[in-house]
A and B are shown apart, each in its own frame.
Chain A
Amino acid sequence: MKGFVHDLRYAMRQLRRSSGFTAIAVLTLMSGIGANTAIFSVVNAVLLKPLPYKDSSRLVVVWQQNPHRGWFENEVSGANFLDWQKQNHVFTGMAAFESLFLNLTGHSPPQEIAGERVSANFFSLLGIKPLRGRLFLPEEESQDRAAAIVSYSLWQQHYGGDPALVGRQIFLNGKSYPLIGILPPGISDDYLGIEAQQSQVWISGIEPFAEGREFHEYHAIARLRPDVTLTQAQAEMNTMAARIEQQYPESRGWGVALVRMHDQVVEYFRPALLLLLGAVGTVLLIACANVANLLLVRGASRRKEFAIRTAVGACRWQIIRQLLVESLLLSLAGGAMGLGFGAWGSQILVRLSPTAQQTTAGAISTPLGLNGLVLLFTFMVAVATAIVFGLAPAMSASKPHLNHALNESGRSFSASLQRRNLRSALVICEFALALSLLLSAALMIKALAHLHRTAIGFNPNNVLSVKIPLEGSQYQDPGRQIEFFRQFLNRIEALPGVESATVSRGVPMNGWAGWNFVTADNSHPAAGDVPDANYVVVAPHYFRTLQVPLRKGRIFTESDSKAAEPVAIVSESLALRYWPGQDPIGKRLKVSSDAKDKTQPWLTVVGVAGNVRTQGQYAPFIPEIYVPYTQYPWVLSPRNVLVRSRGDPLALVPAIQREVAALDKDVPVSALATMDEIVSGPVQQGRTIMWLLGGFAALALLLAAVGIYSVISYAVSQRTHEIGVRIALGADRDAITGLVLRHGISLSLLGVAAGWLGALGIARLFAALPFQIRWLLLFDVRPADPLMFACVSAVLATVAVLACFIPARRAARVDPIRALRYE
């Protein structure tokens, strides 16, 4: 211990004395450790922290899946849910819920809030206890006895924390609900995973219906019995699904998938975060290699000191320990600064990624930043880093050739050979690692470029999207809704700067509402093979507003009223799939899985519209059926108003709010966004990862450049005498410059070659990812893209040449007379 304290004191003195070296080493380590801290703080918040529910590891999300049709996580049918609930032996409970948006009125200006209609046992299944009041009772399962529970934030923000709120009535969509409870802070809708919408209110009365197994409308969660594993539960659910499939033909092809709730919540973020964790780990390794190189150089200049220590009796371990203490001090200083850098970086990270922000601020419910685990991680990384970068130089320096070191007046070719090889090997490793990182970033950049070039089927520029929910008893009559929007759209289109306006059920890129349909040509498809399409309810100017091209026929007009013949416009992909080689105009289809369904009319196709990428840039074109809202006003939910402007669409917001209020002061305007923002939403995560990977790759490149610069610079200083000899023998400046550049380039090329092996490994890793995740990260870009390999290698080689150019020029200017005297 005494020896350690002595080493510590001496190390501090040494580092203080070499302030330049210390500063460079600490800054290098700070960048590496800080990047790791930043990413780990997100990994900790998103991947490692358990969900804020009781015994959350036993919670599962229940999905229906239809692999035959490529659907793997589908909502469940109410009838199936009821069967599972009754027949299963593997869950202590199952609960269903559906997401919805609700107009909150009666207390202050109308507000649309996210909410859920849930089973009465929903909160007890999650293990949540109310902060005030109580949870739902079984008898509140029926719609006529439905009650409401609000979130802590709604209670605070909307009701000012009113202590007497429980027991009052709240008005949602014009209906009154008794408010029976308030949830504690930090409870959110994690269980929805990426679709978490920060629900503010939960109402009971879900009443899953026992008819119509083809309607998949509910989310379901369950809690595993303590003695049952996920595999056992899955096996029983498979058995039940098979039985239901046999009993009900419309359930043909439908199975059940159980996913642990935590896996469900993080499945979207896990690959990206692990990728980033790998990236920052690579940056740290490069930083370690750089500092190890600095230590090797420093060790060379301290050979005499170590020889003297050895001569007076120090054993090898004592010298290694002394050097490791110095490394540890450097690393801890780098780690301390890295903590600050990491805390700042994690905040930047959240700002870069709205999705992560939403998740980390809400669903995951663990704020980013420094906590015990992050501090421990940083400390462990710092200690491990010290060993990684300090051990090899310490081993090398602890073996001095006593005679040489004590008697030499300078150079010793053979003694330095081992250290030089080690330095070269470190630079080669740095380049190999940097290449792997650069390649990953380059692949992401290429993927994003491909995504941006992907035709989405409409023009999102200068289009504003707002939600105008019409709820409540005054809009129960669909005719009132039609009248509202007819007047509203006329008013909006009369505003200066507006080109056109429309209302629609949802907006492109923001999901889809798949409905089954049959065509008159094939009115009885086999059960399980009933076609489906995205069902879009629109106003006449929808196609003009979004600039979706009309390929054939006509668009809707005001004359397509309820009294007129029911009509539809279909997308090119639908027409091609179901009427190949035929004219789709005049064809008939019914939005139902049963041609005999009397509740649904036959629709006549009056037009064919261009394909629109409804599910985002990552997804293919899917068939679409457009119907006029004047014929289906009751299906028009959510109601999105789209306005194409001549200038900045956001400038229209006040006017739109004024026009809504003029028609009905109780109707809220919500979800304001430009279509450009909505279009960029699906690629947001990819863009964030690209920026981060790009940043880390740039940092890696910088560190590798500094690494090769320092190695070549040091080599030039060590070879000054040799350079003098070469000049004496007739080498001109070009020859000397070439000599040094060749050294640097050969190191970098060896690094690139080694990096290719690593990059091939990364390509294999990408290729081995599940298709959906690979598609999300790389889109259609091949992981082993030879052009990218070549480009990235060229970038690295160029950086190496530039980094070596300064020492090469210095070498070329060596004065041969001084060099020949150089000792």
Chain B
Amino acid sequence: MTDLGQSLIEIEDLTKVFYTDEVETHALSGVHLGIRKGEYVAISGPSGCGKSTLLSILGLLDTPTGGKYLLNGEPVESLDFAARSRIRNREIGFIFQSFNLIGDLTVYENVELPLTYRQRMPSAERKKRVMESLERVSMAHRVRHYPSQLSGGQQQRVAVARALAGHPSILLADEPTGNLDSHNGEAVMELLRDLHREGATICMVTHDPRFVKQAEREIHLFDGKVVAEEELRKLMQETQA
């Protein structure tokens, strides 16, 4: 999928502040982070530490308040909505905790969806990619089914296929097993491991220690900052105390 070792994402001194009435909430405070192509990174931390905010910024769903964000060497932190949409469509594949399949669309149409937002992609090419992606997650036999006719595990596999269909530079997974039982959760993680082995770059947010260990690298967040594992443990103990 990508050349291993090249830098894909570089983040410097990234901050995100939310303003509600008179309250300022610092969701991220000076985050430095780099992800290389082909890397499998897990972001973990307690609830409210800024994991999802970081993932949203990485996925260009949100813009940082400050700092730099280079994607494939290009600064993307201050792009307008249309440019972010275009890059998101081509470079980023999302896998959500709640699958986020569209109920009115069939499995095929759901997987095809990101490709429909690309100009000038021939329908034959689109079809080929959709079927390849579905075959990759072993869901090609369910193309005409609607999400409501699938189990949770199957829905998440379709969501993975949708993320793969656009041939993105990176897969961003937000608690991909959060809505699954252990069996289905394990199957999805196995799928992600396989994808990584095939060269996919994956950045996963999870709080499940079993799955964190499957990643090549762990990034620990606490109060909007990246901390070392020992420091996180210490801070957690202090907080609990």
Interface residues of A (CB under 8 A from B): 413-414, 417, 721-722, 724-735, 816-817, 820
Taking the nearest CB of chain A, how far is it from the CB of B160, in angstroms? 13
**Contact present for B85 and A727 (CB under 8 Å):** yes
Taking the nearest CB of chain B, how far is it from the CB of A182, in angstroms? 79
CB-defined contacts of A734 to chain B, threshold 8 Å:
82
The 7 closest A-B pairs by CB, nearest first: A730-B89, A413-B103, A732-B85, A729-B114, A725-B100, A730-B117, A732-B82
Taking the nearest CB of chain A, how far is it from the CB of B106, in angstroms? 13
**Contact present for B88 and A730 (CB under 8 Å):** yes
**Residue ID in chain A nearest B81 by CB atoms:** A733
**Contact present for B148 and A414 (CB under 8 Å):** yes
* 28 sample A-B contacts, Cβ–Cβ < 8 Å, listed by A number: A413-B103, A413-B148, A414-B103, A722-B102, A722-B103, A726-B102, A728-B94, A728-B96, A729-B88, A729-B114, A729-B166, A730-B85, A730-B86, A730-B88, A730-B89, A730-B90, A730-B114, A730-B166, A731-B89, A732-B81, A732-B82, A732-B117, A733-B81, A734-B82, A735-B117, A817-B61, A817-B62, A820-B61
Interface: B125 (CB within 8 A): no
CB-defined contacts of B96 to chain A, threshold 8 Å:
728, 820
Q: List 19 extra interface pairs beyond A417-B104, A728-B59, A730-B89, CB under 8 A.
A: A413-B147, A414-B103, A721-B100, A722-B103, A722-B104, A726-B113, A727-B61, A728-B100, A729-B88, A729-B162, A729-B166, A730-B85, A730-B118, A730-B166, A731-B89, A732-B85, A734-B82, A817-B56, A817-B61
CB-defined contacts of A417 to chain B, threshold 8 Å:
104
Main secondary structure of the interface of A (DSSP, over half): helix
CA distance A730 to B118 in the complex (A): 9
CA distance A816 to B100 in the complex (A): 12
**Residue ID in chain B nearest A727 by CB atoms:** B85
**Contact present for B104 and A729 (CB under 8 Å):** no
CA distance A413 to B118 in the complex (A): 27
CA distance A727 to B148 in the complex (A): 22
- The residue that B89 contacts in the complex, of A413, A725, A729, with Cβ under 8 A, is A729
CB-defined contacts of B147 to chain A, threshold 8 Å:
413
**Residue ID in chain B nearest A723 by CB atoms:** B102
**Contact present for B100 and A820 (CB under 8 Å):** yes
- What per-residue 1/0 map shows which CB atoms of B75-113 lie under 8 Å from chain A? 000000110011011100010100011111000000001
Interface residues of B (CB under 8 A from A): 56, 59, 61-62, 81-82, 85-86, 88-90, 94, 96, 100-104, 113-114, 117-118, 147-148, 162, 166
CB-defined contacts of A725 to chain B, threshold 8 Å:
100-102
CB-defined contacts of A730 to chain B, threshold 8 Å:
85-86, 88-90, 114, 117-118, 166
**Residue ID in chain A nearest B99 by CB atoms:** A725
**Contact present for B117 and A731 (CB under 8 Å):** yes
**Residue ID in chain B nearest A728 by CB atoms:** B94
**Residue ID in chain B nearest A732 by CB atoms:** B85
CA distance A729 to B148 in the complex (A): 20
CB-defined contacts of B148 to chain A, threshold 8 Å:
413-414
CA distance A735 to B96 in the complex (A): 22
**Residue ID in chain A nearest B101 by CB atoms:** A725
CB-defined contacts of A721 to chain B, threshold 8 Å:
100
CB-defined contacts of B118 to chain A, threshold 8 Å:
730
**Contact present for A732 and B86 (CB under 8 Å):** yes
CB within 8 Å for A729 and B94 given contacts A722-B102, A735-B117, A817-B61: yes
Question: Which of A417, A724, A726, A733 has most B Cβ within 10 Å?
Answer: A726
**Residue ID in chain A nearest B89 by CB atoms:** A730
CB-defined contacts of B102 to chain A, threshold 8 Å:
722, 725-726
CA distance A816 to B90 in the complex (A): 17
**Contact present for B117 and A728 (CB under 8 Å):** no
Taking the nearest CB of chain B, how far is it from the CB of A381, in angstroms? 38
CA distance A271 to B179 in the complex (A): 67
Taking the nearest CB of chain A, how far is it from the CB of B226, in angstroms? 21
CB-defined contacts of A733 to chain B, threshold 8 Å:
81-82, 85
CB-defined contacts of B166 to chain A, threshold 8 Å:
729-730
**Residue ID in chain B nearest A813 by CB atoms:** B81
CB-defined contacts of A727 to chain B, threshold 8 Å:
61, 85
CA distance A727 to B113 in the complex (A): 11
Taking the nearest CB of chain B, how far is it from the CB of A741, in angstroms? 16
- The residue that A729 contacts in the complex, of B56, B103, B113, with Cβ under 8 A, is B113
CB-defined contacts of B100 to chain A, threshold 8 Å:
721, 724-725, 728, 820
**Contact present for B104 and A413 (CB under 8 Å):** yes
Taking the nearest CB of chain A, how far is it from the CB of B134, in angstroms? 16
CB-defined contacts of B103 to chain A, threshold 8 Å:
413-414, 722
**Contact present for B61 and A729 (CB under 8 Å):** no
CA distance A728 to B166 in the complex (A): 13
Taking the nearest CB of chain A, how far is it from the CB of B194, in angstroms? 22
CA distance A156 to B150 in the complex (A): 89
